[in-house]
Amino acid sequence: EDYYLTLGASIADFPVLGNDTAKIFAGLGIHTVEHLLLAYSQFVADELKRPGISAQTVRLWQSHMSLMCFVPGVSLNDAQVLAANDITSPEALFNADARLVAAEIDKFLRTDRGRRFASLRSRYTRDRIAELQQFARTHRKRWQEAREHFTWLERPTRPAPAEATYSGARRAPAS
């Protein structure tokens, strides 16, 4: 039961912006996976100032990271395929019907978006999804404890105006 990503891992281990990921995120005070999971997605998107990177993109990265950090055996490709099929957290995986998820993934792999993952089709059988679900169940307590701090799926993309600012990427952008 190995995790593909850990909270303390360097943000360079999640190279969403290519080889310069660590350098780019360091400018925002984001050095680890945990830092990005704590960050407000709108702030990160605004500060990155890169075309095509929106708060929703950053949230998607956070979803990928949550699956990789809290469900053993979930690779980046797995997280991308799961998220494309509305499995965006360990809790969503835990609660899903493995048979239905496998069927939806099979449909997805036949779409233009899913074709790049088609060679990995054997990773997304009903049995494999059920195995990942079992891992999510086994490690559910760890996820539930962490989500008290990492509420990125439920919170707004930017902090409420009255919320105190925090150093690094959690601070609210100036209005």
Residues 6+ apart with CB under 8 A from 41: 55, 56, 58, 59, 62, 152, 157
pTM for this prediction: 0.82
The tens digit of pLDDT for each residue in 84-109 reads: 999 999 989 989 999 999 999 999 99
Per-residue model confidence (pLDDT) at position 159: 47
> DSSP states of 65-96 as a string?
HHHHHHSTT--HHHHHHHHHTT--SHHHHHHS
pLDDT class for 143, splitting at 50, 70, 90? confident
The tens digit of pLDDT for each residue in 10-45 reads: 999 987 877 788 888 999 999 999 999 989 889 999
Per-residue model confidence (pLDDT) at position 26: 93
* Torsion sign across C-alpha atoms 118, 122, 123, 126: positive
Q: What is the DSSP letter of 97?
A: -
Per-residue model confidence (pLDDT) at position 149: 73
- The answer to whether residues 2 and 27 touch, using CB atoms and an 8 Å cutoff, is no
Mean pLDDT of the chain: 85
Q: What percent of the chain is predicted at pLDDT more than 70?
A: 85
Cα angle value 127/124/59 (rounded, 5°): 120
Q: What percent of the chain is predicted at pLDDT more than 90?
A: 65
140: which 2 tokens? 């559910």
Q: Please provide the size of the chain in residues.
A: 175
Per-residue model confidence (pLDDT) at position 171: 43
Say how far apart CA 132 and CA 108 lie, in whole Å: 18
- Residue 147, H or E segment: helix 140-147
Our separate counts of H helices and E strands in the chain read 9, 0
